[in-house]
Structure 1
Amino acid sequence: MGKNAVEELPYTIVPDGSVTTPAGFRAGGLHCGLKKTTRFDLGAIVCEVPATAAAVYTTNVFQAAPLQVTRDSISQEGKLQAVLVNSGNANACTGKQGEEDAYRMRSTLAQRLGIAEHYVAVASTGVIGELLKMDRVLKGVESLPAKLTDQNSGADDFCQAILTTDLVKKECCVQVRVDGKIVTIAGAAKGSGMIHPNMATMLAFMTTDAEIERESLQRLLGQTTDVTFNMITVDGDTSTNDMLVAMASGLAGNNKLHEGHPDWPAFAAAFRRVCEHLAQAIARDGEGATKLIEVNVAGAATEEGARAIAKTVIGSSLVKSAVFGADANWGRIIAAVGRSGVPVDPETVDIRIGDIVMLEQSRPIPFDEEAALEYLKGQTVVIHVDLHMGQGEATAWGCDLTYDYVRINAAYRT
């Protein structure tokens, strides 16, 4: 059932898996000329059958044209057979022309694949406010089907094609048994800057060969997004192009999944594992980042309150700067907790950085500064906050704020 199984988990991680590992999927990518370098900038994932589809989108009021196209596609039958993605240009705030260009991308790929137009979703990422160089895009779309393969090489090309300021590709694959059949769930994502979820601040694409009811897939996608992609931040900015699309080919041979299916909890846990891995990978690869920060909040009155506090702490520029400088400044953490907008008892808060206790019942505890310094120099920093008010828990992920973040974004268009 895959490699490196963990006994207590209902799923198995497939370390060499990709979005093409689930049955029925191919992927590929190429350079069409949107980027100034020769890096790939156009990619697609294609399913051999119309796949059950679900999606979530940015809540930014200014939504890029591809989001409208994808909504339109999914709304017609609740199925997709292809996702076409370009990087290097967001096709956002581009008016009627941008909308027409996104629909042309959809129709051109549909014609090349011989499928209905509404079976194609479109996604874009890159600079806002510039029209696509459609001659280059359409030429690339014409060539793309020949690049598609069900091998990992196709998935790798797709992952490279969707990157902007990302330094590394982001993917994950797991397997789980449903009705005795092996079901595979995989995902690929991009995201490094303009990351502050109010949905999922990035582009992400999930494939599975599970047979699943569309409504159940949509609910699972939304619920899982809330506790994974919606719990990451890099810089407090929510993009105009954020989109998370899931496609289920139904080729695994299982009985149709839904919330009442006996194997639903195992499938949902596996689905969450893929999303959580991708979310953490985005946070770790934040623009200019040197460290992944994890904030665990416990003892909140509600889960919603715990989420709000965790996201406030992880999003604090002062906390992020302190972690970059390896400064064990717990005062910045408690200040972020206090301004989260969530009711907190100011007399009962505990704070730990790693295993080092710094605050108990809201009172400072002497700690070893040298030990804290060494811990904060590591690549992963975990902050624990316990409010002692209830059972609400949540985890958020982010990264440190470095000089390079400013350098990268000061010259983003140039």
Structure 2
Amino acid sequence: MNIIDFKWPKGFQSGAVHAGFKSSGQLDMCWLAANHPCAAAGVYTKNQFQAAPVQVTKHTIDQTHQLQAVVVNSGNANSFTGDEGIQNVHRETEMVGQKLGIDPNLIGVASTGIIGKQLEMDVFENGLNQLSLSDSTAAPEAIITTDTTSKKICVETTIDGQLVTVTGFAKGSGMIHPNMGTTLSFISTDANIDGATLQAILSAKIVNSFNQITVDGCMSTNDMVIAMASGDANNHPLTNQHPEFAEFVAAFDHVLTGLAKMVASDGEGASKLIEADVFHAASQVDANHVAKAIVGSNLIKAMIFGEDANWGRIVQALGQTEAKISLDHLAISIENTAIIKDSQIQTFDMDALRKQLASDNINITVDLAAGDYSGVAWGCDLTYKYVEINAAYEE
């Protein structure tokens, strides 16, 4: 597996325009389309107020696990918009289907932005009239809201002697605390794989990637990840019996995990990426839960921002969980500096540790001494800028 410059897998093209959802003149609408129907999979936010695009696209994918195109806008979430919002999503699929000459039931829709505003269909139509398909890779720029940068990654691997590409792009900076979904993210591949198998991989791998990030503990109404596979790499069909199945899964997982870390590191106002590694947990659920509890703790996030090694906040976050912990053999390290070993405070250089906390990437390692499972999670520090952004948020 090799990380390569961002490009679309065989069979896919894209386009991006400024439709007018954002007054700033930035790109705010894009599409990704294949030249034939593709295997498709999706996972979605568990927020009870799923946005209209989430509801419709989930239904579309669940029917046949096929898509041929996805259209995305930023600047308006089309969330909490009732039946009119649902009908507008159907109008979007009809309009896109007519322009591309494909079945509207093969089109996914995603939106991000302000909640509670009806989608401006005249603006959507304006964007659609401008959109075209090419090898342009501008789509990642068109889906960002408060992000400081676009998130994108591309890897190649070899299956049956054929070069297989997996490409992903995502958005997300605030309202990040996924649950069986992600921030908006789109994965495309030219691997030959059926929709059910692709769904199984996505559902399994989202658990330890996007579901292990948090920025602010707030779950979006619009979270969704869509995966599409064109099959144009012409490898033999991938199933779990294929001798190189694991190679594809590893490439797919690398894209998901890479995007997840990009989202965490670009949290609203963030200055540092925090990684929590948990070892010797009693179960995978415990391992994942404890890791996410560490990176999600506002006290720990503020501690990292202040570059203050107040390790008692880590102890508090651990004890707050229901995970099994050996109370006599707990170990905690910050940036490879041992703080606690066998539940005893260690001697360490506090000034040196504070200097280490000035780096952009901070690692916290915890050994629960309770089993054989491990987990990892990613988050970011809590800064004054986060409050500033969210005290007066508008597109």
| Equivalent residues of 2:44, 2:58 under 8 A apart | no
Report the 3-state secondary structure (helix = DSSP H, G, I; strand = E; otherwise coil) of the residue aligned with 1:188. strand
| Equivalent residues of 1:73, 1:117 under 8 A apart | no
Paired with 1:68 and 1:185, the residues of 2 have a C-alpha distance of 26
Match of 1:68 in 2: 55
Matched, 1:348 2:329: yes
Paired with 1:273 and 1:249, the residues of 2 have a C-alpha distance of 19
User: Aligned letter for 1:360?
Assistant: K
Paired with 2:65 and 2:180, the residues of 1 have a C-alpha distance of 20
Match of 2:129 in 1: 142
In the TM superposition, residue 160 of structure 1 has moved relative to its aligned partner by 1.0
| Equivalent residues of 1:72, 1:118 under 8 A apart | no
**Alignment of structure 1 residues 178-327 onto 2, 5 Å:** 178-327=159-308
Paired with 2:160 and 2:23, the residues of 1 have a C-alpha distance of 49
| Equivalent residues of 2:281, 2:324 under 8 A apart | no
Report the 3-state secondary structure (helix = DSSP H, G, I; strand = E; otherwise coil) of the residue aligned with 1:202. coil
Match of 1:116 in 2: 103
Paired with 2:65 and 2:197, the residues of 1 have a C-alpha distance of 12
Matched, 1:12 2:2: yes
Paired with 1:306 and 1:76, the residues of 2 have a C-alpha distance of 35
Paired with 2:282 and 2:321, the residues of 1 have a C-alpha distance of 14
**Bigger CA drift: 109-118 or 195-204?**
195-204
Paired with 2:329 and 2:281, the residues of 1 have a C-alpha distance of 11
Report the 3-state secondary structure (helix = DSSP H, G, I; strand = E; otherwise coil) of the residue aligned with 2:167. strand
User: Aligned letter for 2:337?
Assistant: I
Match of 1:4 in 2: none
**Bigger CA drift: 56-65 or 127-136?**
127-136
In the TM superposition, residue 223 of structure 1 has moved relative to its aligned partner by 0.7
| Equivalent residues of 1:232, 1:280 under 8 A apart | yes
Identity %: 46
Paired with 1:382 and 1:75, the residues of 2 have a C-alpha distance of 39
In the TM superposition, residue 358 of structure 1 has moved relative to its aligned partner by 0.5
Match of 1:132 in 2: 119
User: Aligned letter for 1:328?
Assistant: A
Match of 1:87 in 2: 74
CA deviations 1:216-239 (Å, max 9, x no partner) are 110100111000000000000000
User: Aligned letter for 1:196?
Assistant: H
In the TM superposition, residue 283 of structure 1 has moved relative to its aligned partner by 0.2
Paired with 2:250 and 2:108, the residues of 1 have a C-alpha distance of 26
| Equivalent residues of 1:24, 1:249 under 8 A apart | yes
| Equivalent residues of 2:38, 2:228 under 8 A apart | yes
CA deviations 1:164-203 (Å, max 9, x no partner) are 0000010111111111111111100000000011123410
CA deviations 1:244-267 (Å, max 9, x no partner) are 000000000100001111101111
| Equivalent residues of 1:105, 1:141 under 8 A apart | no
In the TM superposition, residue 73 of structure 1 has moved relative to its aligned partner by 2.1
User: Aligned letter for 1:198?
Assistant: N
| Corresponding pairs, count | 395
Match of 1:48 in 2: 35
Matched, 1:59 2:59: no
In the TM superposition, residue 207 of structure 1 has moved relative to its aligned partner by 0.4
Match of 1:7 in 2: none
In the TM superposition, residue 17 of structure 1 has moved relative to its aligned partner by 2.1
| Equivalent residues of 1:194, 1:201 under 8 A apart | no
Paired with 1:161 and 1:69, the residues of 2 have a C-alpha distance of 21
Report the 3-state secondary structure (helix = DSSP H, G, I; strand = E; otherwise coil) of the residue aligned with 1:252. coil
Paired with 2:62 and 2:250, the residues of 1 have a C-alpha distance of 27
Report the 3-state secondary structure (helix = DSSP H, G, I; strand = E; otherwise coil) of the residue aligned with 1:226. coil
Matched, 1:375 2:360: no
| Equivalent residues of 1:232, 1:398 under 8 A apart | yes
In the TM superposition, residue 42 of structure 1 has moved relative to its aligned partner by 0.6
Match of 2:344 in 1: 363
Paired with 1:413 and 1:163, the residues of 2 have a C-alpha distance of 13
In the TM superposition, residue 75 of structure 1 has moved relative to its aligned partner by 2.9
User: Aligned letter for 2:314?
Assistant: I
In the TM superposition, residue 71 of structure 1 has moved relative to its aligned partner by 1.8
| Equivalent residues of 1:295, 1:395 under 8 A apart | yes
Question: Of 381, 390, 395, which residue of structure 2 is paired with 1:400?
Answer: 381
| Equivalent residues of 1:193, 1:286 under 8 A apart | yes
Which runs of at least 4 in structure 1 moved beyond 6 Å after TM superposition?
none
**Bigger CA drift: 274-283 or 357-366?**
357-366
In the TM superposition, residue 359 of structure 1 has moved relative to its aligned partner by 0.6
User: Aligned letter for 1:323?
Assistant: I
Structure 1: 5+ residue stretches without partners = 1-10
CA deviations 1:376-414 (Å, max 9, x no partner) are 100000000011111110000000000000000011127
| Equivalent residues of 2:182, 2:225 under 8 A apart | no
Paired with 2:224 and 2:217, the residues of 1 have a C-alpha distance of 17
Paired with 1:108 and 1:364, the residues of 2 have a C-alpha distance of 64
Paired with 1:68 and 1:356, the residues of 2 have a C-alpha distance of 47
Report the 3-state secondary structure (helix = DSSP H, G, I; strand = E; otherwise coil) of the residue aligned with 2:63. helix
TM (norm. structure 2) is 0.98
CA deviations 1:334-377 (Å, max 9, x no partner) are 11111112121211110011111111111111211121111110
